[in-house]
Amino acid sequence: MPGRAGRMDPRLHEVRVRIAAEAGLVPEDLPFLGELIEVRPEEARWRGAIETVLHGTARLMLIDADRLEEISRIIDPLRLEHRINFTGVDLAAAHPEGNADPAWISGKLAYKDSPFTGWIRSRISADGTDALCVDSPEQLRGPGQRVTIHAQTRSGMRGAHGGRIRHVIGFTNTERLAEIEARLGEIDTVLEELDRKRRKIAEEITRLGRERDAHRTVESTVWRDIDPDGIAAEAQGLRDRRREILASDDALKKLRAELEQTRAALTEAEIEERVNRQQAADLDTAYAALIARRDKGYTEIQRLTGQAGITITAEQKLLLEREHAAVADVTDLDGFTVGVRRLAAHLTAAHTAALGRAQAATDALEAVFQRYQDHYKDPNLSASVENYPAFKAILDGIVTTGLHERRAEWTRKLTIWSGQDLVPLAGSFGDAVAEIEDRLRPINTILSKLPFGARRERLRIDLRHLTREDVRRFRKELNALARLDVEGSDDANVQKVFDRLKAFMLQLGTDAAGKATRDHLLDVRRHIEITAVAYDSDGRDRATFAALGGKSGGESRELVAFIVGAALRFQLGDDENVRPRFAPVFLDEGFVKADGEFTGRSVMAWKGLGFQLLVGAPYDKFTSLEPHADLVLHMSKSAKGYSAVTALVPDGPRMPGFAVPVPVGGYEGGDAE
């Protein structure tokens, strides 16, 4: 059921998916009748009877009658795993309303809204499909098809009962999933019971195996082997027999005595061997220790020999002698090694303590440096102790100059900073906008001489100031700060001005959302709007262009040509020069889709703005450009891979100007350029 609704048999669904794929459809275009009906909740106890009566009908795949023949041809050569029944439905035809009486199967169903709903109601209500629901077998007698709640069906003298069928009727698979969940619970219960029985049988098998082994042991055991009294008597008899033999033969007695002596000697030898082995092991251990001490001595001698060049100062020598005397007797040569160890431990402890004091002093200094940075932030310094010389210089400067003089100096620099930085910034806002207006003025002078549009109007580039409250407040605060003079002010007022200036500068960073505000506030191009205005010969504005929307293709291309040309002229020069600083403009397939009139106005606009146009276009698409071109060159390539350039003379026969064969490697067989 994954990926689909309904309770339809998965095997039929797989066949339906394959048919839909072959026909270029989705499975939802080929529904089963059972997927478009549902048993009403209050009639759920009749589901078994309904599934039985509509068994074949519910599994019927519905196809739009307009595509029936096409799908039939497509699926005919297919080898389908399961047989599927289908029918064509005329979706445009009117169908009877159908039976809604809840006493009948058709009245116990809900119908899903779909193009097939009318046909389905009519089909299920038809004679031979619908059935009257009766409460007892006695009521099966009568005309028409009838069914009991236990799914026994009768139609006249014919009847049927029994069997289990898969339920497939339903819009969704929710109820089926619940049934599966319940069935899984039942299966889990059965599995648990079977597992309990399995364990019980395994225990019984184990018990029987042990009992079998016991019986086999009893069966294979000889009584003589397990009778302790008999075995003890037999052993005693053997011992008595041995004594009698030894007593009756002197040679055996002598051998017996020698054997006992030999055994005693062997025992003593084994004990002596074990003692000797232990002594040898102890000697090996002592030898290894001596070798290790010898190697360590050699190593120490080499170390001391290698450090012979190390010298200590008189102060260090005095310190070592004093510390050595504190931990050992310097006159005791036998205790020298122990004294050196004590001295090393003592110096290590002293070194650790000194490091701790140094770290405490470092932390204290860095805390002082951080407090200074919190009050007087210097981006060139950090609170690290590595900046001690810089902070020492600051302290010396404060002590030398005096705190009052330093405050006065800071106040004076604050005034200089605001004057040097803020005053030019405030003035540059107006200068920048004025510069843009000054550079637009010659552009508009040129455009006033060039016809624009079908009515041969003129085009003007207008600049409009945008009113933005945040920018207005920023410029107002900038002008106010640029005019401030803190000379002679008290410390509180100076600090207040500094905090105000600091808050103003923070606006040039990022806002609360992390968005950069510097360009938004300082870039004057964001404070203005540029539009193009078309006006007639009387100076009346006819149209304002802020975007290309709502224009035809030709109007849009002409407007783009004028705007792009004006923008390039704005960047590259003004009307004081005949040509911009860079005049050639290359257009790839420019104006190839435009008519001659539009092309003429656009070319004249570019030429009027001082540019030299070089347009590349296919041979069959340059006719609109030809009347306006000062020179037309035709470039072609022969079948052998040679290119030629030929000048074409306008308004006359095409005379060959010049042809220069140029071999073109790697382009043989390509299209002519």
Tens-place pLDDT, residues 408-463: 666 666 666 665 566 677 667 767 777 777 777 777 777 777 787 777 788 888 87
As a whole number of angstroms, the distance between CA 80 and CA 73 comes to: 14
Query: Do residues 531 and 464 lie in contact, with contact meaning Cβ atoms separated by under 8 Å?
Result: yes
Q: In Å, what is the CA distance from 494 to each residue of 372, 417, 485, 490? A: 19, 13, 10, 6
Taking the model in full, what pTM does it have? 0.34
The amino acid sitting at 141 is R
Q: What is the pLDDT of residue 395?
A: 79
Tokens of 161: 């009962």
CA distances (Å), 569 to each of 124, 351, 444, 452, 589, in order? Answer: 79, 77, 11, 17, 22
| pLDDT > 50? residue 669 | no
Residue 665 confidence (pLDDT): 39
Mean pLDDT of the chain: 79
Highest average pLDDT, of 304-308, 638-642, 661-665, comes from 638-642
What's the pLDDT at 660? 38
648: nearest Cα among 658, 636, 639 = 658
| 288 pLDDT higher than 70 | yes
Confidence of residue 154 (pLDDT cuts 50, 70, 90): very high
Q: Render the burial of 20-31: b for 16+ CB within 10 Å, e for the rest.
A: beebebebeebb
Q: What is the reported pLDDT for 88?
A: 94
Helix 228-248 and helix 250-306: axis angle, to 10°? Answer: 100
Of residues 608 and 642, which shows the higher confidence score? Answer: 642
Tell me if 592 sits within 8 A of 621, measured CB to CB: yes
Asked whether residue 662 carries a pLDDT value surpassing 50, the answer given is: no
Q: Band the pLDDT of 227: cuts 50, 70, 90.
A: confident
For every residue of 499-515, DSSP letters joined together read HHHHHHHHTTSB-TTS-
How far apart are the C-alpha atoms of 328 and 463, rounded to whole Å? 95
What's the average model confidence in pLDDT over 581-610? 68
Q: Tens of pLDDT along 633-658?
A: 888 888 887 888 888 765 544 433 33
Match 């200094």 to its residue by tokens.
Answer: 365
DSSP letter for 672, please.
P
Rounded to 5 degrees, what are φ and ψ at 153?
-115, 145
Q: What is the predicted pLDDT for the residue at 670?
A: 41
Tell me the per-residue pLDDT of 533-580, one tens digit each, with 9 for 90 and over: 888 878 888 777 777 665 666 667 776 777 776 676 666 665 455 556
Sheet holding 662-663, edge to edge: 632-637, 642-648, 662-663
Domain boundary assignment for the chain: 10-172, 235-290, 316-360, 413-546
pLDDT score at 621: 61
Partners of 38 in the beta sheet?
110
pLDDT at 490: 66
pLDDT of res. 672: 40
- Report how far apart the first and last C-alpha atoms of the chain are (Å, whole number): 61
Q: DSSP 3-state helix, strand, coil percentages of the chain (rounded to 5)?
A: 60, 10, 30
Query: Rounded to whole angstroms, how far apart are CA atoms 8 and 14?
Result: 10
Radius of gyration for the chain, computed over Cα atoms and rounded to the nearest angstrom: 56
On the CB side of 322, CA atoms within 13 Å amount to 6
* Burial (CB count within 10 angstroms: exposed 0-12, middle 13-18, buried 19+), residue 554: middle
Half-sphere CA count of 608, side-chain side, radius 13 A: 20
Which residue(s) pair with 632 in the sheet?
A: 648
The mean pLDDT of 208-234, rounded to a whole number, is 82
The answer to whether the beta carbons of residues 463 and 528 sit under 8 Å apart is yes
Residue 104: other Cβ atoms inside 10 A: 21
The pair phi, psi for residue 560, each rounded to 5°, is -60, -40
**Segment of 148-157, 181-190, 502-511, 564-573 carrying the highest mean pLDDT:** 148-157
Residue from 523, 529, 567 nearest 546 by CA: 529
Residue 654 has what pLDDT?
41
Question: Which one is predicted more confidently, 670 or 324?
Answer: 324
Q: Residue 655 contacts by C-beta under 8 Å, 6 or more apart in sequence?
A: 647, 648, 649
How would residue 666 be classed by pLDDT, with cut points 50, 70 and 90? very low
Residue 242: per-residue pLDDT: 79
Q: What local confidence, expressed as pLDDT, does residue 671 receive?
A: 43
CA distance 39 to 52: 13
Q: Which of 115-129, 203-217, 285-299 has the lowest mean pLDDT?
A: 285-299
pLDDT tens across 368-420, in order?
Answer: 888 888 877 777 888 888 888 988 888 777 767 665 666 666 666 666 666 55
